[in-house]
Structure 1
Amino acid sequence: MGRQADRWLWRWIGRRAPRWFERLLPASLLARFLLVMTLGVLASQLLGNLIWATYLKGKSEQEVRQASLHVAAGAISAIQYFHSLPLNYRQLVIEQMREMGGTRFFISANNAEVKLQSIDRNPLADVVLQAIHHDVIGRLPQLYALKVSFAWPDQLAVNNAGTFISELPDHWIKNTLLIQPRPAPILVIQAQIEPGQWLYLATLMPDPFFLENSDPLPPERWLLQFVTLLTVLLLSWVVARWITGPLAALSNAAEAFGKGESPILPETGSVEFVRTAQAFAAMRERIVRYLEDREKLFTAISHDLRTPITRLKLRTEMLDDDATRAEFHEDLDELDMMVKGALQSVRDSDIHENHTSISLDAMLGRMVRDARLAGHEVAFTRCGLRVQGKPLALKRAIGNLLDNALYYGRSAEISVFEGVGKRVIVIRDHGPGVPEEALETLFDPYVRLEHGRHSNSHGHGLGLGIARNIIQAHGGELLLSNHPEGGLQAMITLPGV
């Protein structure tokens, strides 16, 4: 029951599979393998990057929030200290702190908020600003106003007079802010501790370059993943070549064997391919023996049957009833014809020739000239194309089709076309055609339609089957169809040279 359910499921999937998806897939196994590996690696990299980016984002936000609370604690202590000082002492303390150096904050006192040019919006910077603002306001609710922002050193003003930090003496800021050689964003906290009194605090985060953590996928990581993808594709290509190489050799050997050649697969490579090559060689030998035995069998049957058929014909001569004697003669003649036709079918399908390059103009031209000398009307245009095959076998196959066209039609036309890697020969007659339901049975042995019996009473009904066997042995295909304008057409497709 489980196997039946599995088969039903796969059939359902096959019916539901979109045809456009099948058309998008490449034809070769190598290309499909590389496509699957590429998509698999890309999918795994995208999923891994998503997981990595989510993890780094959470970790960075957590670390930055903890650092922000540490900076906020120092800012709160500084604001409380300066708020406790008398107004006229505040500037003195600030100057002493500047001369001493080593403080966490660069501090200035202003009578209004200093306008700053903030850095561009950044997720980690927003976390810092929100955390510090929330902590300072929560612990110092008495402040009149609080402004927290980030600014780059070259754009940072430190007082209402518009003095930039780059204009200050170096010993005032060298232990507090980082300007050279690699500038870092500066955190500025401005707190209004009294009406008209603003305290200006500038400092760095514990990790001055924390904003770089906001990009979990820097260019270096993308480059590494691109190199990884190329490496995987290269190794996949090597593995796929190892796999598809023997398959291609097996396919070529099978195709050559189907054309009557005797290819030999080298028994080298992986264990699986060696076993396949050995199995192919054994199969080839069995088929060759079978074909030889079949030919010997048909020859023996033909020889053995002719003697009793001849004896029966002689005995019928001794019959007194003329009508009975004529019926016996007719049956024996038909039996003799069937035996000869079967033997001829075997011999015609197994002509021992070497493959060679054949000029279709030369071969078809001779056949057309012979037909015209016999009084038939045949139209043919030279094409200049060639095919690879057995000349006598192909001539016999095409000759059978041309004979049928001339027997059953008033005239025939032969056309040759060039396709992608193939040659197409179309033989059309101008006869009555064939019923559509009878097209599939025309290749069966001894099948003859009513029109055929009247037009050619000496035929055996084996010509089409012989022609198809020969063409298939050349790696081609024979299709029969009714022409839209009347008559039957035979389309032969053969591989190109």
Structure 2
Amino acid sequence: MCSPPTSACPVLKRVGDRLRRLWPASLLGRLTLVMVAGVLVTQLAASAIWASQLRAKSQVEAQSAAQYVAHSAAGAIRFFRSLPPAYRMLIIQQLREMGGTRFFVNLNHAYVPITQIAPHPLAQSVIATVRETLKTDLPHSPGFELAFAWPDQLVVAEHDVRLNDLPDAWVQHVLLLQPDPAPILVIQTEIEPGNWLYMAALMPNPYFLSSNDPFAWDRLTLQGLSLAVVLLLCLLVVRSITRPLAALSDAAEAFGQGHEEGASPLPETGSREFINTARAFSAMRERIQRYIEDRERLFISISHDLRTPITRLKLRSELLDDEALRNEFEEDLDELDMMVKGALQCVKDTDIHENPAEVKLDALLGRLVRSAQLAGHVVAYQPSGLTVRAKPLALKRAIGNLLDNALFYGERAEIGVSEEPGALAIAVRDHGPGVPDDAFASLFDPYVRLAHGREQNDGGMGLGLGIARSIAEAHGGQLLLENHPQGGLNAVIRLPA
């Protein structure tokens, strides 16, 4: 737990929120991200291990090569020291005419400044090894000047004489100038006062500096190509895994929305697990479809059988002398006929199949209020003069369910209609005990009834609120339940204005 003075918790929370936003929502995105990240981390770890091993190997090889070159240079220095000064240039000239030896050798009267290559750890290690080996082999020498230089910048003699100024025959068998120049090791030592021996040579592996670099362009290109191939294969595998799942998701969504006409069966391709899942889903879809078809046939038969008694009741209502009572009977029979005609749709969507129309709320709610008052209930309603576009019978059914609940579970009810920004609200409030806060989440579940409701109405099924909410949502609205500040439950249907 973070203490109040610190600011670590907000920072960590912000970082966590950003990471959650970056985390893909789709299975394809998540698998792709995990596999790509895994391949990249593995590649980087392998490259780091390989680079470490390569550097260690190059270091050992360079040390060995440096000792070999230093021993050869020590032998050459001893040889030229043993010669009389007058014969030294003669021997050097003969070596040049014969094609040279391991070293390009020259004599100068002073130290020749060298333009060194850029600092490199391996080059500095080689120079240190050569210096130590020369000091060991030639303990009485006054000192050695060592450096690595590029051929095009190498000065080989006094008065700024460069390597490129010399005849090709003098250096072509000793130093590598074309086509890819390599760094040249230059050793200068004073063999006697006023006489400096100048020696230049390549390392046994001329390109030891580039071979030591694990991030050279050729190696990076090869690693990049291999990484691209691996990532491409990973993406293809992930795509092949998620494509059948996407087809399964589309099929399930289409089936849930009732779009079964022309639906093609799921392809039984892919992994064994998906094939088994596709077969199980297809079998489940067929069983549910058969069940729905059987239920539709049952309700079609029931609705067909009910038409005859409804027709007889309509004929008998014509014999009533009381015109108001006859009109009430005819309206009830018309509603019953509409419900019978839409029985199948009602079973599917808990809604009556009818076309939306402009509904005058005062007329619709006034009839509900009069019916409740005739039954001896107390219902208050103030006309609003508002209209709403809705399915009349479905909306009446939803409000009727809320009013029935209010009258069953409360002493009296109040109905109010008000306009809100972009919406119209129809509120039904009772004066009962209300609903406990922890019970709101389960009120819309089928067959769920509170203890107070069971005491007041033991014949209910607990379906009214769920049907009312489904009708409200089918109109693009919502049903909200809340305890009224002055007591009782307040049910509000909000519909688009």
Interval of TM-score (by shorter of Structure 1 and Structure 2)? 0.5 to 0.7
Structure 1 unmatched runs, 5+:
1-17, 304-342, 418-424
Q: TM-score, normalised by structure 2?
A: 0.67
Q: Kindly provide the CA deviation profile for residues 254-297 of structure 1, in whole angstroms up to 9, marking residues without a partner as x.
A: 33333345465515332544433332233234445666579969
Q: What secondary structure, in the 3-state scheme, does the structure 2 residue paired with 1:158 have?
A: strand
Q: Kindly provide the CA deviation profile for residues 214-258 of structure 1, in whole angstroms up to 9, marking residues without a partner as x.
A: 212322333333333433343333333333233223223333333
- 1:197 Cα deviation from its structure 2 partner: 3.1
CA gap 1:39/1:463 in 2 versus in 1, 3 angstroms: same
Q: Which residue of 2 aligns with 1:148?
A: 146
- Bigger mean CA offset, 51-60 vs 399-408: 399-408
Structure 2: distance between partners of 1:403 and 1:225: 74
- 1:53 Cα deviation from its structure 2 partner: 1.1
- 1:119 Cα deviation from its structure 2 partner: 0.3
Structure 2: distance between partners of 1:459 and 1:354: 17
CA gap 1:201/1:392 in 2 versus in 1, 3 angstroms: farther
Query: Where does 1:261-340 land on structure 2 (aligned, <5 Å)?
Result: 261-262=259-260, 264=263, 266-270=265-269, 271-287=272-288
Structure 2: distance between partners of 1:215 and 1:221: 9
Q: Kindly provide the CA deviation profile for residues 302-338 of structure 1, in whole angstroms up to 9, marking residues without a partner as x.
A: x9xxxxxxxxxxxxxxxxxxxxxxxxxxxxxxxxxxx
Structure 1 position 226 matched with structure 2 position 224: yes
Q: Which residue of 2 aligns with 1:447?
A: 449
- Bigger mean CA offset, 182-191 vs 91-100: 91-100
Structure 1 position 38 matched with structure 2 position 9: no
Query: Where does 1:280-429 land on structure 2 (aligned, <5 Å)?
Result: 280-287=281-288, 350-351=346-347, 363=356, 365-366=358-359, 368=361, 371=364, 376-377=383-384, 408-413=413-418, 427=425, 429=427
Q: Which amino acid aligns with 1:38?
A: V
Mapped contact 1:378–1:413 kept (Cα < 8 A): no
Structure 1 position 119 matched with structure 2 position 117: yes
Q: Which amino acid aligns with 1:59?
A: K
Q: Kindly provide the CA deviation profile for residues 113-171 of structure 1, in whole angstroms up to 9, marking residues without a partner as x.
A: 21111000113212321221111111111110111110112221123322222222332
- 1:439 Cα deviation from its structure 2 partner: 1.6
Q: Which residue of 1 aligns with 2:379?
A: none
Q: Which amino acid aligns with 1:482?
A: E
Structure 1: distance between partners of 2:449 and 2:260: 34
Q: Which residue of 2 aligns with 1:15?
A: none
Query: Where does 1:2-13 land on structure 2 (aligned, <5 Å)?
Result: none
Q: What secondary structure, in the 3-state scheme, does the structure 1 residue paired with 2:25 have?
A: coil
Q: How many residues align?
A: 414
Q: Kindly provide the CA deviation profile for residues 427-486 of structure 1, in whole angstroms up to 9, marking residues without a partner as x.
A: 5637477552342343254737979999x99987532122456789x8x99674539999
Mapped contact 2:472–2:493 kept (Cα < 8 A): no
Structure 1 position 189 matched with structure 2 position 187: yes
Aligned Cα RMSD in Å? 4.8
Structure 2: distance between partners of 1:349 and 1:414: 31
Q: Which residue of 2 aligns with 1:67?
A: 65
Structure 1 position 133 matched with structure 2 position 134: no
Q: Kindly provide the CA deviation profile for residues 160-194 of structure 1, in whole angstroms up to 9, marking residues without a partner as x.
A: 32222222233222222222333221110012233
Structure 1 position 238 matched with structure 2 position 240: no
Structure 2: distance between partners of 1:59 and 1:235: 33
Whose RCO is larger (CA < 8 A, sep 6+)?
A: 1
Mapped contact 1:397–1:471 kept (Cα < 8 A): no
Structure 2: distance between partners of 1:348 and 1:415: 35
CA gap 1:39/1:91 in 2 versus in 1, 3 angstroms: same
Q: TM-score, normalised by structure 1?
A: 0.67
Structure 2 unmatched runs, 5+:
1-15, 306-338, 368-381, 408-412
Q: Which amino acid aligns with 2:224?
A: F
Q: What secondary structure, in the 3-state scheme, does the structure 2 residue paired with 1:183 have?
A: coil
